[in-house]
Amino acid sequence: MDYVTLLSALRTCTSSKLLKQGKLIHQRIFSCGFQSNILLCKSLIGFYFSCHDYASAELVFQTNECPLDVSLWNSLLSAYTNNFRFVEALQLFDQLNCNSHVRPDFYTYPVVLKACGGLGRVIYGRRIHNHLLKTGLIWDVFVGSSLMNMYAKCDQFVDAIKLFDEFPQRDVGCWNAVISCYFKDGKAETALKTFDKMKELGFEPNSVTFTVVVSSCTRLLNLKRGKEIHRELIDRRILLDAFVLSALVDMYGKCGCLEMAKEVFEQIPRKNAITWNAMITGYSLKGDSRSCIELLMRMNDEGTKPTLTTLTSIVYASSRSVQLRHGKFIHGYILRNRIDVDIFIDVSLIDFYFKCGYILIIDRF
């Protein structure tokens, strides 16, 4: 059996998360003498991570006979960051830096910067920034956009925008990073202007770009611009993933256009908590507690666990509509399911009971 056949079989096990069968292929790799094949080792790491068998993935890396190949290090680093194991990623990067026989490359740094952003480790990220300036790798467009994203994730907007302005070559990732910076910094109008400039210069926005600019329209309650961007999404035939669709539902809901919000909402085949919350919040702002509760029931039936945001929105809707029955229902739902609530739900319940004239029950909070 050749290594190409084994690689193909291993990829099938990875996509289907077949741990038992994948381990048998791992044994066959050893028996065929392919344990030093870099492609197979990288695929084994990806396979074990897909099955959440992290110890086996680390063992593949540790026992490999070619530890000087940086692509193997990159494979494990990517596996860590893609599974949100950012601490382990930075620990491995530290080990790589201590190894005098192998050096990080331009594939390494974007992965490590993602881990820095995920942990909010801006000081660590700045150290990498200084090193990239010395090596010249910072001017690689993929590395540069990753550095901008790291600063954006760490709320260091000035640094991200300064880097963007200095960058000689830009890709969509760079533009997405700076647009996100403006949005997160409360400058939604500037985010939209930057989006327009991006298109004027010939760059094609992607689903990430559109998610941020739709959210910018939401923050500005600019329904007209939001509709224009929705039309542009359709005209450009951009892949409407769950993030873009959820942003559209949120935009239409918060701008009071519930019919369009519901139309987009029903297009989403697999709804996550963010999607449900966007639609529930739209009804909540209208004080439609009945529709909120109906969506909560659908949410439960379709296997999505409600979040505290979900519950707060429904209590708020009951308070706005002064619907005692609906508010008591959601309060009972919280108690029956032994949900640990936060201060926002407590305050919302107090406000609800006060508006309904149930003053005595407030003393229980």
pLDDT digits (tens, 9 = 90+) for 54-102: 999 999 999 887 778 999 999 999 999 999 999 999 999 999 999 989 9
Which one of 65, 89, 116 terminates a domain? 65
Residue 337 lies in a domain: yes
Position 359 scores a pLDDT of 64
- In sequence order, what are the residues at sequence separation of 6 or more whose Cβ sits closer than 8 angstroms to the Cβ of residue 66? 36, 38, 41, 72
Residue 249 or residue 324, greater confidence:
249
Q: Is 125 helix (H, G, I), strand (E, B) or coil?
A: helix
Q: Is 5 helix (H, G, I), strand (E, B) or coil?
A: helix
CA angle 218, 202, 145 (to 5 degrees): 70
- DSSP labels for 191-244? HHHHHHHHHHTT----HHHHHHHHHHHHHHT-HHHHHHHHHHHHHHT----HHH
CB 282 within 8 A of CB 258: yes
CB 85 within 8 A of CB 54: yes
- How many whole angstroms separate alpha carbon 194 and alpha carbon 222? 16
Mean local confidence (pLDDT), 34-56: 93
Residues found in the chain: 365
Angle, helices 122-135/108-119, rounded to nearest 10 degrees:
160
Which one of 49, 65, 81 terminates a domain? 65
Task: Record the pTM.
Answer: 0.82
- How many whole angstroms separate alpha carbon 276 and alpha carbon 269? 12
Residue 365 has pLDDT above 60, yes or no: no
Position 341 scores a pLDDT of 84
- How many whole angstroms separate alpha carbon 152 and alpha carbon 146? 10
- Identify residue 258 by its one-letter amino acid code: L
Which one of 10, 44, 65 terminates a domain? 65
pLDDT band at 360 (very low <50, low <70, confident <90, very high): low
Residue 284's domain spans which residues?
A: 271-365
Position 151 scores a pLDDT of 96
Q: Specify the number of domains making up the chain.
A: 2
* Cα–Cα nearest to 357, from 322, 313, 318: 322
Residue 34 lies in a domain: yes
The two tokens of residue 10 are: 């291993």
